[in-house]
Amino acid sequence: MNAPSPQEREASGREAASLTRFLEPVLLIVLGGAGVVDGWRIITTKAETPGGVEAGGWIAALGGMLVAGACVQIARDILRGPEAASATEPDVLFKPPAIALVLLLLYVALITPLGYVLATALFMAAYLRIFGRYGPLTVAAIAIPFAAGSGWLWSALNMTLPQGVLPWP
């Protein structure tokens, strides 16, 4: 992939920061809310279990503090205004890591059905092709030996990885 220009980086970062500045606090509210709900469920339904109230109370308290803190964070962000938020957030490019992450998630999803060696070879090939822009021969020369060699190495270290369609190593 071509290296982005500084202007592209700045524009991308500002856009992302202004669009998503409330994303993390909202996610924290959701997670904290889950803590409160589950904690309350345990307190109300498992009160007779020894330690039940404390077990529920702990996550309800943590969740409650998280929700309150995230709300304060949103209020602070609103008071600062969108321009201040985008100026203080680091300018970042989201596209290359997002593509790498999608490749990684696909790889994880394919390990069980295809097996470690095949899935690794495919993941390596896709990554090298997209990010390194290597030709098919170079890609094959790196991906296949790495997948086979590492598969053999893990097997030699007594690791049992999913074999999938290829019963090796």
Which spans of this chain sit near other proteins (rule: CB under 8 A)? 3, 24, 28, 31-32, 34-35, 38-39, 42, 46, 49-52, 54-56, 58-59, 62-63, 65-66, 69-70, 72-73, 76, 88-90, 92-94, 96-97, 100-101, 104-105, 107-108, 111-112, 116, 120, 123-124, 127-128, 131-134, 142, 146, 150, 154, 157-162
**Which runs of consecutive H residues, i.e. helices, occur in the chain?**
6-20, 23-45, 52-80, 82-88, 95-114, 116-127, 136-156
Q: What's the chain's length in residues?
A: 169
CB of 67 to other proteins, least distance (A): 10
Residue 94: which of 17, 2, 5 has the closest Cα?
A: 17
CB of 167 to other proteins, least distance (A): 18
Q: Residue 11: CB partners within 8 Å, gap ≥ 6?
A: none
Q: Which is nearer to other proteins, 130 or 167 (CB)?
A: 130
The 10 Å Cβ neighbour count of residue 46 is 14
CB of 159 to other proteins, least distance (A): 5
